[in-house]
Structure 1
Amino acid sequence: MRLSSNRSRGFSVVELLVSVAIGLLALVFATRLITGSEQSKQSALGSSDSMQNGMLAMFSISNDAQQAGFGLNDPIIIGCNTRFSDREGYELAGATRGAATVHPLAPAVIESNGSAPDVISLYAGSSPTGTGTLRLVTDYFGGTRLNVDRLPSYGFAMGDVVVVAPEKRGGDCALAQLSAQPGAAASVTVGGTSFRFNSGELGLNFKGGKTRIFNLGPAKTLSLHTWSVANGFLRLRSTDMAGSSATPATVADNIVSIKAQYGFDTRTGSAFENRKGLGIMRWSTQMINADGEGETGDAGDYEHVSALRIAVVARSKTRERPVNGAACSTTVNKPVVFASKEPEGVTPVPMTVDVAVAGETVDWRCYSYRVFETVVPLRNAGWNP
């Protein structure tokens, strides 16, 4: 029996082309589906990364702020312009006082940079005897010996960090280390080339009977921290972390900004009763004349700081890839921080944050951002002797 000629011909060219076209369309749809799924996955992972990095940054800075001021809260030394040198290269933050630049010894010092990232310094001691327990009994005009009013056998040990400050507020103070173990004499010895802080003389003169000596604890636990952001990294300079005194250590990536504000108790005169507790009545990125005594940034103004408001801005690791040269649209407007009323009734001072990273060619709009905010009361602000 002979087969039909129509059956022996197989598929026609048209049928083959239709099959190929259907296959190509299916491949295109499958590719788009996989690509879209991968983009969604990367976006979700980038959002998760920004959440983790932002939380790490906020936890680190806020934890420092919660501890700030321990041993540094006495009215005699808070905000005093400090003579300080560190053999390992740490430097105290600078601040404006009137027309001058000083280096205040205070729980927190904010170097505000407008829409750019701030620099936040948080200082704390570690000694439970951080109040003025010794008084200078003779004038000091140099050298390494300080004659005091009693035997410093309790609470003072070789290597401890001390602050020497005039009892009259407004004078300069000096930070140094005890370079000898206190003995039977009513004196302490500072300086010494084998010690880290102020290895020589104090560099200032002090009057006998009008000067106090405060112990901030062992040098290895003195916590002087400075937080900053550069090139998308959160960085820390620290006196108690090896290798980070002069050169900052990287703490977290994809952090594009940190911002901070002082929370002031603006009561003045007899109405300011800090031993009964402090309140927040005004937020400011800059030091203000909070004590009403005429000079902005003096020691009294630092005493009126009751809290810090801190913000961290983190960005996603992955970025949007616009099609055909179109502009990115992941983020349209720059983040705004400190816009809410915290606490209720206090006027907020919102700030727009510049999230562009210097040196990067990628548009900042191609990334997504997360903002983390908190208010940290300075727990030692009211602990005044």
Structure 2
Amino acid sequence: MTQYFNFIHKYRKRSLQSGMSLVELLVGILIGLVATLAISNLFSGFEARKRTITSGSDAQSTGVLAMFYMKRDAQNAGYGLPLNNSSDPSPLLCPINTSINQGGVIINLSPVVIVDGGAGSDILRIRYGNPSAGGASLRATGTITSPTLDGALIGCRENDIVLYRQTNSNPNCSLGRLQRLNPDRVINTLSELNTTPTASPVSDLNGSEWVRFSCLGAWNQYEYAVNAAFELTRTGGVEGGNPFPDSTIVPIVSDIVSLQAQYGVTNTIDPTFAAANSSAVIPFSAANYLNRVDQWVDATGVYGPSIELLDRNRIRAIRIAVVARDGNLQKSDVSQPCNGAATGLARVCIWQADNTPANVDLSSVPNWQRYRYRVFEATVPLRNIIWNRDAL
């Protein structure tokens, strides 16, 4: 009997044991799904922030590098042009078409030229020399092709570009190439004189007016532009090689979608000069304007391709803006024009310090609003051409 009751007890105990019910199974699956979704969203958020930070870092790097290259050249603009004093007029008083045929390429004395790109990117051209004498000049007499100089010819080398300037209020000017030097540093031969004649080329070194002779070194031109692949390119002459624009166009920075530039001009006449010359006509050299920037202008109208000497010589600085793209296409729009009003979208503006920042046209960039951008700006005083003024 005892065995019987033990058997019944074990049987009943086994019958009271049960497995997981369907409801419990569904609840467990639901909890697992919620946890999986939460973890996935967490990782997705981290990844999105990582992409944003990484892409922002890329845009930062490319923009800084692009600005470094252009600022470096712009700060050298005009280097090598002779310095000004009371008896030695500025080379920027020369006729604006004073030019040299350098290896088949016509290059003039304008230190900075902006080519307006309309709705697209602008082009920035910068010119400077590399003479070791840094703008020194000597009086020249004799014949123009083999002049005699008052002093030792220091800092000039064969194949350097040379500048003749006649010392009067409306100077005649010529450019040429120092083809040969004698062992005693006396000029043997000058070539390419007046290949592109100016309005008033120098023709006589023995006249009543002094003629000054200066070496500009390798007077080359460097050009910055944005190509169809959204790369900032630099083209420039290399000493001893082909000058611009025969040199190879070199892409230097990627994901640059726009380059914009403006001239900073002075409109203020020196009050001391104005008081002493109330009835005088302001000289075309702009020598009596203050060294300050009163207005920023595009390279259009009077500051376009047909710019005159007066307006060119009132340029005191340039400012540059580059727009760098992050390179990662987003799933939806993240950017808008500067005058856009959409909530949550970043505005792309240039000249951000102005009272009214400007739009930059990025319509040539496919799906442009689905990229993030960073704008970099720099103002560069043209410190090598301040000699526009008589009194420094």
> Which category describes the TM-score, using the shorter chain as reference length?
0.7 to 0.9
Q: Are residue 306 (structure 1) and residue 307 (structure 2) matched?
A: no
Separation in 1, partners of 2:260, 2:29: 59
In 2 relative to 1, CA 131–371 (structure 1 residues): closer, same or farther, beyond 3 Å? same
Deviation string for 1:126-181 (max 9, x for gaps)?
22352543536436xxxxx44345576333222323245666758774453x2322
Q: CA deviation at 1:18?
A: 3.1
Unaligned runs of 5+ in 1: 93-102, 140-144, 192-197, 323-327, 342-347
SS in 1 for 2:58: helix
Separation in 2, partners of 1:20, 1:65: 67
User: Any conservation in 1 of the 2:226–2:256 contact (CA below 8 Å)?
Assistant: yes
In 2 relative to 1, CA 223–203 (structure 1 residues): closer, same or farther, beyond 3 Å? closer
Letter aligned with residue 247 of structure 1: T
Deviation string for 1:302-328 (max 9, x for gaps)?
221111122122122223213xxxxx1
Letter aligned with residue 361 of structure 2: D
User: Any conservation in 2 of the 1:81–1:172 contact (CA below 8 Å)?
Assistant: no
Q: Are residue 380 (structure 1) and residue 354 (structure 2) matched?
A: no
User: Any conservation in 2 of the 1:234–1:252 contact (CA below 8 Å)?
Assistant: yes
SS in 2 for 1:257: strand
1:4-23 equivalence runs, <5 A: 4-8=14-18, 10-23=19-32
Task: Give % identity.
Answer: 27
Paired position in structure 2 for 1:195 = none
CA RMSD of aligned residues (A): 3.7
Q: CA deviation at 1:207?
A: 0.9
User: Any conservation in 1 of the 2:82–2:137 contact (CA below 8 Å)?
Assistant: no
**TM-score, normalising length from structure 2?**
0.72
Letter aligned with residue 319 of structure 2: R
1:1-385 equivalence runs, <5 A: 1-2=10-11, 3-8=13-18, 10-72=19-81, 75-77=90-92, 80-87=96-103, 104-127=108-131, 128-135=133-140, 137-138=142-143, 145-150=145-150, 153-164=153-164, 173-176=174-177, 178-183=178-183, 187-191=187-191, 202=195, 204=197, 206-209=202-205, 212-217=212-217, 219=218, 222=219, 224-230=221-227, 231-240=229-238, 245=244, 246-267=247-268, 270-271=273-274, 274=287, 278-286=291-299, 297-322=307-332, 328-331=333-336, 333=340, 335-341=348-354, 350-356=357-363, 358=364, 361=366, 363-383=367-387
User: Any conservation in 2 of the 1:73–1:107 contact (CA below 8 Å)?
Assistant: no
Separation in 2, partners of 1:65, 1:349: 26
SS in 2 for 1:47: helix
Separation in 1, partners of 2:252, 2:171: 36
Q: CA deviation at 1:54?
A: 1.4
Unaligned runs of 5+ in 2: 1-9, 84-89, 275-281, 341-346
User: Any conservation in 1 of the 2:153–2:186 contact (CA below 8 Å)?
Assistant: no
Deviation string for 1:54-100 (max 9, x for gaps)?
1222222122222211123663356732544454x8x56xxxxxxxx
In 2 relative to 1, CA 254–243 (structure 1 residues): closer, same or farther, beyond 3 Å? farther
User: Any conservation in 2 of the 1:337–1:352 contact (CA below 8 Å)?
Assistant: yes
SS in 1 for 2:91: coil
Q: CA deviation at 1:44?
A: 1.0
SS in 1 for 2:387: coil
User: Any conservation in 1 of the 2:174–2:194 contact (CA below 8 Å)?
Assistant: no
Q: Which deviates further from its counterpart, 32-41 or 155-164?
A: 155-164
User: Any conservation in 2 of the 1:136–1:207 contact (CA below 8 Å)?
Assistant: no
Letter aligned with residue 112 of structure 2: A
In 2 relative to 1, CA 223–277 (structure 1 residues): closer, same or farther, beyond 3 Å? farther
Q: Which deviates further from its counterpart, 41-50 or 103-112?
A: 103-112
In 2 relative to 1, CA 320–129 (structure 1 residues): closer, same or farther, beyond 3 Å? closer
Q: Which deviates further from its counterpart, 330-339 or 49-58?
A: 330-339
Q: CA deviation at 1:239?
A: 1.9
Q: CA deviation at 1:38?
A: 0.4
User: Any conservation in 1 of the 2:181–2:187 contact (CA below 8 Å)?
Assistant: no
Q: Which deviates further from its counterpart, 296-305 or 46-55?
A: 296-305
User: Any conservation in 2 of the 1:331–1:367 contact (CA below 8 Å)?
Assistant: no
Separation in 2, partners of 1:349, 1:111: 23
Letter aligned with residue 226 of structure 2: V
User: Any conservation in 2 of the 1:170–1:299 contact (CA below 8 Å)?
Assistant: no
Separation in 1, partners of 2:149, 2:259: 46
Paired position in structure 1 for 2:277 = none
User: Any conservation in 1 of the 2:116–2:300 contact (CA below 8 Å)?
Assistant: no
In 2 relative to 1, CA 16–105 (structure 1 residues): closer, same or farther, beyond 3 Å? same
SS in 1 for 2:375: strand
Q: CA deviation at 1:379?
A: 0.9
User: Any conservation in 2 of the 1:264–1:306 contact (CA below 8 Å)?
Assistant: yes
Q: CA deviation at 1:350?
A: 5.0
Q: CA deviation at 1:266?
A: 2.3
Q: Which has the larger radius of gyration?
A: 2
How many residue pairs get aligned? The number is 338
